[in-house]
Amino acid sequence: MTDRSLDLLIDEVALGLADDADIARLDRMAQADPAIAARLDQARQRLLALDDTADALPLPEGFWTRLEARLDAEEATTPPAAPQPAQQNVVEVSSIRNAMHRWRATAVAGMAAALMLGVMLAWVSLSRPEPAVIAVLLNDAGEAIALVEGLPDNTTRITLLERQNVAADQVMQVWTKPEEDGPPVSLGLLSTGRSSTLTIDGLPTPRPQQLYEITFEPAGGSPTQLPTGPILGKGLAKEPVT
Amino acid sequence: MTDHATWIKACAAGDKSALQALMTAEGGRMFGVAQRMLRRIDLAEDAVQDAFVLIWKRSHQFDPSRGSARGWVYTILRNRCLTMLRNEDRVQPIGPEAMESAINDQDLDTAFDRLDQTDDLRRCLERLDLQTRRAILSSYVLGHSHGEIAGRMAAPLGSVKSWVRRGLTKLRECLS
C-alpha cells in the first residue's frame, strides 16, 4: 500500500466513509504499527472540532439509572476486567443492589421460561404420534393449501396453509378414499375454518397413495354423504421417511 | 492527563462514579451528536447508552499516549451511530424527503458556521468548493455514506467518491 492510499484509507475511516472490511484492515495495521495508529488518531483529532458543533442536549430523565442497570447486567454475566478499587463507596450502593436484584429476577424468570419451554418441547415431541401417511393438498393452480397427516388410528391432522374465505352458509369438509376403488368417506368438517384434528372410527390404517381432499359443502356438511361442492384441494398420501 | 483521561482510567479500575462524571461532562454533547446523525431521540439515547457501556468495557484498552481521551470517546460513539445507520433497518427518515434534505443542509451549514473562526479545520474547509465541502461534512456530521451523498446531490457515485478523495487530500495537506 502506498503512503498516499494509506492516508486516504485513514481519512475515510476517520470520516466514517470506509466500509467494515476497510475499517478492520486499518484496525489490524494500527494494532501492528504504532505510527499508523498515531496517524489515525491525528486524523480523528483534526475532525473532532465538528463534534463540538452539535448542540449539547439534556440527557433524558433516568439516563444514568438505566445505564447503571446495564453495567450491572454486564457485570453479572462477565467478570470485571480489573479488581474493584476502594472508591466504590462514592457510588450509592443501595441503588446498585436494587438494580442487581431486578436484573437477577429477570434472569431467573428468563431461565425458568426457557426450562419450561424445553420440557414442553420434549413432551410434545414424545407424545405427538408419528403419522402413518402425509399428504400435501394442492389446488387447481398447483399451490399447496393444506397438509394432511393421517395417523394409524385414523386421527387426521389438517394444517391449512392458506386462510380460506368460506361463505357463511358453507363449510370445508375433509374426505378420503380408504379404498382406491371405493367411494370417498367424510373425515369431518373444518367448521372453525382453521387447522384442526379430526377423528373417525372404523376405517383401516391410512396407506400410501390414499386420496385426501377438501371440498366446500353446505353448512352442516354434504347432504349426500359424498362430496358435492367445488374442490379446494386434493393430494395423494405418502409414507414419511423416518 | 486531562479530566477525560483520568475518568477513563478510573473506569478501568471499576469506578462507576468516574463514568458518571464523564457522562455529566460529555453526555449532552454526545446526545446532540447522536441525534444529528440518527434523527430520532429514542435511537440517539440508545446509541449514547451503548457508547457508555462500550467505554466502560473497553476502558482498560485506552492508552493516553496514543491519542486524546475525548477523541477516543467520540470515536466509540460515532462508530456506534454509524453501525446503527448502516446495518439496522430501524433507522427510518422522519419526514418527507424534501423536508429531510432541507434539515440536513441546515445542519451542515450550522456545523460549518459554528467552527471557530480561528480553527484550522474551518480555514481549510473554506478552501474547498461548496459541493466537496458539503460531501465531506455530510459524511462526518450526518453519517451519510458515499451512496447517500450521491443520491442527495444527484451525482454519479464515482464522481462523489473522487470529489471526496480529492477534498480529503487537500484538507490533509492544508491541515498538516
Q: What is the ipTM for the molecules in this complex?
A: 0.91
Work out how many domains chain A is built from and give that number. Answer: 3
Q: How far is A112 from chain B (nearest CA, A)?
A: 27
pTM of the entire structure? 0.60
Q: Of the ranges A70-74, A202-206, B85-89, B161-165, which one carries the lowest mean pLDDT score?
A: B85-89
Query: Are the Cβ atoms of A59 and B28 closer than 8 angstroms?
Result: yes
Q: How many residues does chain B have?
A: 176
Domain extents for chain B? Answer: 4-86, 96-175
Over residues A140-186, the pLDDT tens digits come to 888 889 999 999 888 899 999 888 888 888 899 999 998 888 888 99
- Residue of chain B whose Cα is closest to the Cα of A20: B83
For every residue of chain B, DSSP letters joined together read: --HHHHHHHHHHTT-HHHHHHHHHHHHHHHHHHHHHHH--HHHHHHHHHHHHHHHHHHGGG--TTTS-HHHHHHHHHHHHHHHHHHH-TT---SS-HHHHHHHHHHHHHHHHHHS-TT-HHHHHHHTS-HHHHHHHHHHHHS---HHHHHHHHT--HHHHHHHHHHHHHHHHHHH-
Q: Are residues A25 and A92 in the same domain?
A: no
Q: Give the domain range for residue A37.
A: 3-48
Over residues A22-71, the pLDDT tens digits come to 998 998 998 889 899 989 999 999 999 999 999 999 999 999 999 999 99
Query: Are the Cβ atoms of B36 and A17 closer than 8 angstroms?
Result: no
In a domain, A55, yes or no: no
Domain B4-86 fold is Rna Polymerase Sigma Factor; Chain: A (1.10.1740)
Residues of B in contact with A6 (CB under 8 A): none
Q: Are residues A121 and A138 in the same domain?
A: no
Among the listed residues A181, A171, A168, the one whose alpha carbon sits nearest the alpha carbon of residue A223: A171
In a domain, A58, yes or no: no
Strand order in the sheet with A133-138: A185-190, A170-177, A211-218, A231-236, A133-138, A144-150, A155-160, A196-199
In a domain, A82, yes or no: yes
Query: Are the Cβ atoms of A53 and B111 closer than 8 angstroms?
Result: yes
- Residue of chain B whose Cα is closest to the Cα of A48: B71
Window 66-95 of A, Cβ < 8 Å to B: 66-68, 70-71, 74, 80-85, 87-88, 90-91
Residues of A in contact with B64 (CB under 8 A): none
Residues of B in contact with A55 (CB under 8 A): 32, 35-36
In a domain, A88, yes or no: yes
Over residues B1-16, the pLDDT tens digits come to 679 999 999 999 999 9
Half-sphere exposure of B131 (CA within 13 A, CB side): 14
- Residue of chain A whose Cα is closest to the Cα of B72: A41
Among the listed residues A151, A166, A160, A239, the one whose alpha carbon sits nearest the alpha carbon of residue A201: A151
pLDDT > 50? residue A83: no
Q: Are residues A10 and A69 in the same domain?
A: no
Q: Are residues A118 and A139 in the same domain?
A: no
Window 193-232 of A, Cβ < 8 Å to B: none
Query: Are the Cβ atoms of B23 and A67 closer than 8 angstroms?
Result: yes
Substitution target in A4, A50, A55 with the highest count of B β-carbons within 10 Å is A50
Instruction: Give the CATH number of domain B96-175.
Output: 1.10.10.10
Over residues A195-229, the pLDDT tens digits come to 888 888 788 889 999 999 999 998 888 888 889 88
pLDDT > 70? residue A135: yes
pLDDT of residue A125: 59
Query: Are the Cβ atoms of A15 and B168 closer than 8 angstroms?
Result: yes
Residue B97 confidence class, pLDDT cut points 50, 70, 90:
low
Q: Of the ranges A203-207, B96-100, B108-112, B167-171, which one carries the lowest mean pLDDT score?
A: B96-100
Window 3-42 of A, Cβ < 8 Å to B: 4, 7-8, 11-12, 15-17, 34, 37-38, 41-42
Over residues B56-87, the pLDDT tens digits come to 999 998 988 878 899 999 999 999 999 998 87
Provide the CA B158 distance to its chain's centre, in angstroms.
24
In a domain, A54, yes or no: no
Q: Are residues A167 and A194 in the same domain?
A: yes
Q: With both helix axes pointing from N to C terminus, report the angle between A3-15 and A20-32 in degrees, rounded to the nearest 10.
A: 120
Strand, coil or helix: what is A158?
A: strand
Residues of A in contact with B13 (CB under 8 A): 82-85, 87
CATH number, residue A178: 2.60.40
In a domain, A151, yes or no: yes
Domain boundary among A90, A125, A160: A125
Does A47 reach chain B within 8 Å, measured CB to CB? yes
In a domain, A74, yes or no: yes
Substitution target in A51, A61, A95, A103 with the highest count of B β-carbons within 10 Å is A51
Residues A37 and B41: their CA atoms lie apart, in Å, by 33
Residue A129 confidence class, pLDDT cut points 50, 70, 90:
confident
Residues of B in contact with A56 (CB under 8 A): 28-29, 31-32
